[in-house]
Amino acid sequence: MSEIPLVSELRAKFGEGIIDVNLEAIDEWVEVTPGVLVEVCQYLKEAEGFRFDMCNSITVVDYLHTDPKKAAKVDWDPHLELVYHLSSIATKLTLVLKVKIPRWKNGVEGDLPGVPSVAGVWSTADWHEREAYDLSGVNFLGHPHLKRILCPDDWEGHPLRKDYEMPLEYHGIRGR
Amino acid sequence: MLLIGTVSVSWYLAVGAVLFVLGAVCMATKRNLLGVLMGVELVLNGANMNFIAFGSKVLRPEGSLGLDGQLIALFVIVLAAAEAAVALAIALNFYNNHNTVDVDRANELNG
Amino acid sequence: MADFVNYILNIEGSWFGYVVAALVAAVLILHVVAVGALLFIWMERKISGRIQDRLGPTRVGGKFGWLQTLADGIKLIAKEDVTPDLADKFLFKIAPYVGLAASYAAFIALPFADGVVGLHINTAVFFVLAVLGLEVFSVILAGYASGSKWSLFGAMREAAQVVSYEVPLGMCVVVPVMICGTMNLTTIANMQAGFLTNWLVFNDPFTFLTAIVYFTCATAGVNRAPFDLAEAESELVAGFHTEYSGLRWSLFFMAEYSSMFIVSALASILFFGGPHGPIPVTEILGFAGDSLGNPGMEAFSEETAKNDGFFAATQFGLILSRIIGVVNLLIKGCIGVTVMMWVRWSFPRLRIDQVMTMCLKYCVPLAAIGFLGATTWQALDLPTGTTLTGSHRYEYHELWTAGLKDKVLLDQDETADSSEAPIPHENDTQTEVNKVPLKTVPVSVLKGGER
Amino acid sequence: MDLIAVAWPYWHQFFFIIFAATAVGFGFGVLLSKNVVRMAFYLVLSLGSTAGLFFLAGAEFVGAMQLMIYVGGTLVLLIFGVMLTAQKDFINMDTHTQDWILATIVGGSLLMVLLFAAFGADDWSTPQDINDAQVEATKEATPLGLALTGIRVDKLGDSGDAVDDGKSGYLMPFIIVSIHLLVVLIGAAYMARTKKLSHATDDKSSRAKLMLFKMEHESEQLEEETYVVTHRGKSALNPLDPQNEN
Amino acid sequence: MATSKIDDPRVIEFDVRTDEMLINMGPQHPSTHGVLRLVLRTDGEVVSDVEPHLGYLHRCAEKIGENLTARQWIPYTDRMDYLAAMNMNLGWSLVIEKMLEYDLPERGRHLRVIISEMGRIASHLVAMGTYGLDLGSFTPFLYGFREREKILNLFEEACGARLTYSYLTPGGATADLPAGWTDKCRQFLAEFKEVVPELHTLLTTNSIFVSRTAGIGVMSAKMAIDYGCTGPVLRGSGVYHDLRFHGEERYTEMYEGYVFDVICADPETGKYPESNYEFHGDSLDYPEIPRQAILGDCWHRFYVRMLEVVQSVRLIEQAIEKYEATSGDWGKPIKLVQKLPAKEAYMETEAPRGQMGFYVVGNGDSIPWRVRARSSSFCNLSVTAPLCQGILLADIPAIVGSLDVVMGEIDR
């Protein structure tokens, strides 16, 4: 695995921060811990020969089966997976970063889990993170103004969570 | 009755006098700087009316001021425009510095 | 007109004739405003349609959608007249009328042909411009009273723009006034009678420049694209009339279209010969009889009617030539309006700072150059367009003054030879003025025209 | 028919009353209105009617100038000023009651004096016959223009008049006024300029400057960075990438 | 800090102290392209701050995607960028094909090139027309729409719909092009070539247009990349990046064997590379860059679109040749309930408004576990706030219009 320069450099630099590297996937990905996320991103943006200067998208995938029967079959615990799709205009390379976080902070339902914000690394991450916060309920720590972007400010819940239920009513408008 | 008597210079002078007094009272009572400015305009118009009336050959073929009346009225109009520009500049400057257009509060020399 | 009515009713010098004449004139002008607006809106839709490769209205009222604007007008009248809560109700309601009144009043002094004019005012040029300038109040009041920020933006833009553009506009207007030596529009128009080359626009290169600058500034003055910042729909929603609906809204448009016509008609009078066509057809065919010598004469003369009967008093040739004159002016005005429409549908809109830059950096200096150049041209007595065809501009004017010549000569010393009657205005020297003081009074005012 | 057939010599009075009533009425409007924008509107109407009176009195050029300069120029400027300072607190400003009382007393007595003077002189209050030709002559603007250049057409007959020397007329005042206007133009522009940069320039607009500044510098850096790559985009982790093998 | 070095005419110094006010531009406003709402903080005519508010067209397309199969979701992609629905279809189709490792037949490849480039022309025509509208010029809008109508007619013939096509599907397309379609397409291209110079006359080279757009909303290449701008917005800033050249192999092999240019100015010279493609045969192919224009301003963004349209014509001409040379299968759509593997795939395509990315996570079922659309307009719009500071009110439509956003795609 060490023959891939990026991986070896990342491992050398961040050591334990790099949890997993998957080269079997359609789009190969690297998983990092939330703690080193910003440093990794900063490094990737500036690393000579890679220069991931563009953050294409930030996606939150909610791994949760609401149906207990199905939940029993799968081999993962419920969690959120943040997928950062990076690419480079300069070198035309692409990269997928993943961060896994719990669905709720400290397991308390309603407390949004936190991830350090990369809005300081790529300005475009600002809105992507706002969208992720709005729709999937991830608290991006250090984001300049984390607030809802697509849903109204007084909307309740985060629609792209698997356990989200549409409110019965919103300002007198029937929801379901 | 008015319709039967022919209009003389006096009628114009009366209108001018009323406008003049209205303008003067306006200047005295308005607290808004721009209101005062409007009063000045009225006063000038009242005075202008006199010049026009005295200079009018329609009203007084004999012994009228002739062209002089009209010319002075013209000068008044032009100078009123200049006066308005300066007064407005003062008003805006006042507003910039004091954040109000209330003339009662214009009691400092330091602009 | 008043004499005519009084003669028919057999009441001499009655007030009735004057009132009827005034009403007829008012209604006629109202038709120019209202029907003109209808026509121009229809024209605008048709022209913009053609420019944009489509048909425009086709259904209402037959083949060309003639009655489309009328149908829209009826719709607008039927619409609810909404007044916003935050509006200053009184000013909001009165604002459209101010604009319409201003552009309507400007028609008072606009001569449609020699003698076909609401009121002869010796300072007609400035009267028209001044009254037209009052239209800005309607926009400012509407913008302020609407209680909407977009409207306020429109009003502020309009105020800044119109005040600035009046400067070059006035400077341009002074050029024909200077060349003709009068501010009477009828006289200015009559001085351009004859062939195309007599038009002031072809007088010298500087008048040509001035005409172009005038038209540009007039377009800006009446708020037409590319200077229509007060109602820039992509920026200010609809600018000053954002909050208006129904009839009040349509009044703004009537005012806009009629002032478009006024500035175009004024351009045609000042620079493009006014009621006189490119070729003096009526003069050549002799419709006007000797009216070329005395076109200012009343088409109906009470005196003649008394002596020689009704039909002798009615000079049909003169009436016909006046009608042709009116048609000429209307066509020229419509051409001006069409050019404005053409420009509107071809160009993007300028930005407010660019509009002001255009005025202060280009229009004012160009107008100044035009004014100084035209003055110099006159002062040096350089060849003008009139000399090209050999038809001298003042020739006609001289003939018109012929009626007054006797009177003038009475006042003057007997040495004044009738064969070389002094040409007024051409040499405005002190001595000339001393000789012929009354010459400065335009004859058409004294002799002709509706009083 | 009798009523109709009457020749009516009262046109002048008729229009005089209309114009005078509107001028005075809206003058009162200016005085009594509290709203400064409405005051400006009433002032427009009042001055417009005054222009009408000028027309009636035969001063057509002055009337047109009144409309053009005063109503069209000065008042637009005034309304501009009103709008620039139009904050909620200043649009409606009450006058103190004692001011009202005092002003009414003084103004009333002044009006009495003026009216007394206006109607007092017989020479002014007796109407005179009108000479048509002379009236028309006064309506012409050329003598006015000539007078401004120093030539008095109307005083030609006066013997011993300074006209003969070319000294009379209003040439000197005309020049003084033009220089005065120039001074005013410069002075007004200078006065309305704030000495210090306004807060708008201080923060927000300078931010725009800053941005442009940044951009200029960024683009300098960019030149090193941008280079054209003809190969296709690939995953950085692709083991088959020849770039990664070496 | 050498701010004095910059002598920018747009920065206005105030003579009169004024107060700032907040203004709502939108969601009902003529120049906000649908339902964008901009809250402006203005000082007179000068805008000091802009805050975009989105979401008026939010339809939870991603949530719906978690309840539908891959083919069922295609109509929802139509409604994202509804002005370039074909390109949206293409993006989704490619990502599903990538997941299924499906290889498209040759004929289908050329068909897709024709259709997606036609979609690009249609979309850019609307972009150019509405940009003229934003600047107060109505006529180019109708010129653009007239040509777009012809494209819609062709699309209607191919798939039966005029706006939301659902034509390109994972696996290929719902049907082959009808007989005689290519001839009509050729005829359209011939007609369209006449129109481009007209648009150049009406807008690109019009001096008022130039003065309204040149030097306005200047975005450096670094800023464009930082804010994730893509497509013509990025290339207008002088960044040589076009996914049709530089994208993933699965996408670029679609354009294998095609000759076309990436429209992008050289940041050093500021000149656009001379094309060897004779489009109209005269100087109107590449109108001159005005003196005032700075690389990365509104004018350049507009200009890139204008020139891209020409390259699309060039591509379609080649594609029609290649398409007619092939025969047989054009690529049948996948099954409606095609099972997706328990993998995840991300794919970006060069849509007219930028890089449109789709991300799909499968779990072995036919219904994807998670669907995500990376919207190009979303990222392009995010640059509005920093770009619209210290400008005049009238520049707001100019800048937002030059970014060419479609709210359907932003709000999803």
pLDDT of residue C295: 42
Tokens 């009713």 locate to C9
DSSP helix/strand/coil, E49: strand
In percent, the amount of chain D with pLDDT more than 90 equals 1
What is the pTM for the complete model shown?
0.80
User: Taking a C-beta distance cutoff of 8 angstroms, is the pair C123, D60 a contact?
Assistant: yes
CB contact B43 to D (< 8 Å): no
Nearest by CB to D78, which of B17, B37, B70? B37
pLDDT at B11 over 70: yes
Residues from chain C contacting residue E395 (CB–CB below 8 Å): 351
In percent, the amount of chain E with pLDDT more than 90 equals 4
Confidence category of residue D5, pLDDT binned at 50, 70, 90? low
Residue E337: count other Cβ atoms within 10 Å of its Cβ.
Answer: 12
Mean pLDDT across the stretch C354-378?
87
Confidence category of residue C25, pLDDT binned at 50, 70, 90? confident
Q: If you write DSSP's letter for every residue of C5-58 in order, what string do you get?
A: HHHHHT-TTBHHHHHHHHHHHHHHHHHHHHHHHHHHHHHHHHHHHHHTTS----
Nearest by CB to A94, which of D233, D244, D245? D233
pLDDT at E296 over 50: yes
* Closest by CA position to B48, among listed B72, B84, B21, B24: B72
- Containing C140, the helix (H) or strand (E) segment is helix C135-145
Contact call for B and E: 3+ CB–CB distances under 8 Å: yes
pLDDT of residue C410: 39
Mean pLDDT across the stretch C404-427?
39
Which amino acid would we find at residue A38? Answer: V
Contact residues, A window 84-103, toward D, CB-based 8 Å cutoff:
87, 90-96
Interface touch E11/D87, C-beta < 8 Å: no
pLDDT at D225 over 50: no
Alpha-carbon span C145 to C96, nearest angstrom = 11
Alpha-carbon span B99 to A168, nearest angstrom = 51
* Closest by CA position to C84, among listed C251, C244, C250, C248: C244
Is the four-CA dihedral A102, A106, A108, A110 of positive or negative sign?
negative
Alpha-carbon span E237 to C62, nearest angstrom = 53
User: Taking a C-beta distance cutoff of 8 angstroms, is the pair C24, D15 a contact?
Assistant: no
pLDDT at E409 over 50: yes
CA distances from C428 to B86, C180, D227, E126 (A): 37, 11, 75, 62
According to the CATH classification, is domain D1-108 in 1.20.120.1200?
A: yes
Residue B86: count other Cβ atoms within 10 Å of its Cβ.
Answer: 16
CB contact E243 to D (< 8 Å): yes
Alpha-carbon span D138 to D155, nearest angstrom = 13
pLDDT at E230 over 70: yes
Nearest-Cα distance to chain E for C233, in Å, is 7
Contact residues, B window 49-78, toward E, CB-based 8 Å cutoff:
none
pLDDT at B92 over 60: yes
**To the nearest whole number, what is the mean pLDDT of chain C?**
74
Alpha-carbon span C158 to C222, nearest angstrom = 10
| Span A123-172, pLDDT tens digits | 888 888 888 888 888 888 888 888 888 888 888 888 888 888 888 888 88
All residues at 6 or more sequence positions from D41 whose CB lies less than 8 Å from its CB, including other chains: C91, C137, C141
| Span E264-291, pLDDT tens digits | 877 777 777 776 666 655 555 677 788 8
Interface touch E344/A53, C-beta < 8 Å: no
> Chain D residue closest to B15 (CA)?
D20
Mean pLDDT across the stretch E211-218?
84
* ∠ Cα C240 C224 D86 (to 5°): 30
Alpha-carbon span C111 to C119, nearest angstrom = 8
**Residues listed for chain B:** 111
Is the four-CA dihedral A129, A135, A140, A143 of positive or negative sign?
positive
Residues from chain E contacting residue B95 (CB–CB below 8 Å): 16-17
User: Taking a C-beta distance cutoff of 8 angstroms, is the pair E47, E349 a contact?
Assistant: no
CB contact C53 to E (< 8 Å): yes
Q: If you write DSSP's letter for every residue of D45-91 in order, what string do you get?
A: HHHHHHHHHHHHTT-HHHHHHIIIIIIIIIHHHHHHHHHHT--HHHH
Alpha-carbon span A7 to A27, nearest angstrom = 15
pLDDT of residue D191: 66
Alpha-carbon span E342 to E52, nearest angstrom = 38
Alpha-carbon span E384 to D160, nearest angstrom = 78
State the Cα torsion B50-B55-B60-B61 to the nearest 10°. Answer: 180
**What's the burial of D86, exposed, middle or buried (CB within 10 Å: 0-12/13-18/19+)?**
middle
Q: Between C390 and E348, where is the model more confident?
A: E348
In percent, the amount of chain D with pLDDT more than 70 equals 52
Which amino acid would we find at residue E329? Answer: D
Identify the DSSP state of C203.
T
CB contact B107 to E (< 8 Å): no
pLDDT of residue C315: 63
CA distances from A75 to A64, A78, C13, E361 (A): 11, 10, 112, 16
Beginning with the edge strand found earlier in the chain, give each strand of the sheet holding E46-53 in spatial order: E21-25, E37-43, E46-53, E391-392
| Span A34-56, pLDDT tens digits | 888 888 888 888 877 778 888 88
| Span C277-331, pLDDT tens digits | 777 666 666 555 444 444 444 455 556 556 665 555 556 666 777 788 888 888 8
| Span B38-70, pLDDT tens digits | 888 889 888 888 888 887 777 776 666 677 788
pLDDT at C398 over 70: no
Q: What is the separation, in whole angstroms, between the first and last Cα of chain A?
A: 51
CB contact C232 to E (< 8 Å): yes
Nearest by CB to E30, which of C52, C237, C349? C237
Residues from chain C contacting residue E198 (CB–CB below 8 Å): none
* Closest by CA position to C29, among listed C123, C109, C89: C109
* Closest by CA position to C3, among listed C115, C112, C109, C107: C115
Using CB atoms, which chains have 3+ pairs under 8 A with C?
D, E
pLDDT of residue C309: 58
Lowest mean pLDDT among C69-83, D157-171, D216-230: D216-230
| Span D10-22, pLDDT tens digits | 677 778 888 889 9
All residues at 6 or more sequence positions from A171 whose CB lies less than 8 Å from its CB, including other chains: none
| Span C141-184, pLDDT tens digits | 888 888 888 888 888 888 888 878 888 888 898 888 888 777 77
Q: Between A6 and C298, where is the model more confident?
A: A6
Q: Between E125 and E256, where is the model more confident?
A: E125
**To the nearest whole number, what is the mean pLDDT of chain E?**
83
pLDDT of residue E322: 87
Interface touch E6/D229, C-beta < 8 Å: no
Alpha-carbon span C347 to E67, nearest angstrom = 50
Alpha-carbon span C28 to C30, nearest angstrom = 5
Contact call for D and A: 3+ CB–CB distances under 8 Å: yes
Alpha-carbon span E374 to E359, nearest angstrom = 8
Alpha-carbon span B70 to C228, nearest angstrom = 38
Tokens 């020229």 locate to C332
Mean pLDDT across the stretch E294-300?
85
All residues at 6 or more sequence positions from E119 whose CB lies less than 8 Å from its CB, including other chains: E84, E85, E86, E87, E352
* Closest by CA position to D130, among listed C403, E38, C258, B61: B61
| Span D23-33, pLDDT tens digits | 999 988 888 88
pLDDT of residue B63: 66
> Chain D residue closest to C20 (CA)?
D4
Q: Which one of A2, A4, A84, A123 would you mutate to disrupt binding with D, by most D Cβ within 10 Å of its Cβ?
A: A4
Lowest mean pLDDT among C359-368, D229-238, E242-251: D229-238
Contact call for C and D: 3+ CB–CB distances under 8 Å: yes
pLDDT of residue C320: 74
Residue D32: count other Cβ atoms within 10 Å of its Cβ.
Answer: 14
pLDDT at B111 over 70: no
Confidence category of residue D155, pLDDT binned at 50, 70, 90? low
Is the four-CA dihedral C238, C243, C249, C254 of positive or negative sign?
negative
Contact call for E and A: 3+ CB–CB distances under 8 Å: yes
Using CB atoms, which chains have 3+ pairs under 8 A with E?
A, B, C, D
Name A141's bridge partners. Answer: A116
pLDDT of residue B61: 65
Highest mean pLDDT, choosing among C400-409, D121-130, D209-218, E195-204: E195-204
pLDDT of residue C214: 92
- From the options 3.30.460.80, 1.20.1440.230, 3.30.365.10, 3.30.43.10, give the CATH code of A5-167: 3.30.460.80
pLDDT of residue D135: 60
**What's the burial of C93, exposed, middle or buried (CB within 10 Å: 0-12/13-18/19+)?**
middle
Secondary structure of chain B in HEC code, one letter for each residue: CCCCCCCCHHHHHHHHHHHHHHHHHHHHHCCEHHHHHHHHHHHHHHHHHHHHHHHCCCCCCCCCCCHHHHHHHHHHHHHHHHHHHHHHHHHHHHHHHHCCCEHHHCCCCCC
DSSP helix/strand/coil, C234: helix
pLDDT at E298 over 50: yes
**What are the phi and psi torsion angles at A21 (to 5°)?**
-130, 120
Q: Between D174 and C381, where is the model more confident?
A: D174
CA distances from A91 to A121, D222, E14 (A): 18, 14, 46
Identify the DSSP state of A52.
-
Q: Between C211 and A1, where is the model more confident?
A: C211
Name E43's bridge partners. Answer: E46
Contact residues, B window 44-83, toward D, CB-based 8 Å cutoff:
45, 48-49, 52-53, 55-63, 66-67, 69-71, 73-75, 77-82
CATH architecture of E71-338+393-411: Orthogonal Bundle (1.10)
pLDDT of residue A119: 84
CB contact A167 to E (< 8 Å): no
Q: At what angle do helices B67-98 and D75-84 cross, to 10 degrees?
A: 10
Which amino acid would we find at residue E258? Answer: Y
Nearest-Cα distance to chain D for B3, in Å, is 6
DSSP helix/strand/coil, C116: strand
pLDDT of residue B26: 86
Is the four-CA dihedral A121, A122, A123, A128 of positive or negative sign?
negative
pLDDT at E193 over 60: yes
**What are the phi and psi torsion angles at E51 (to 5°)?**
-125, 115
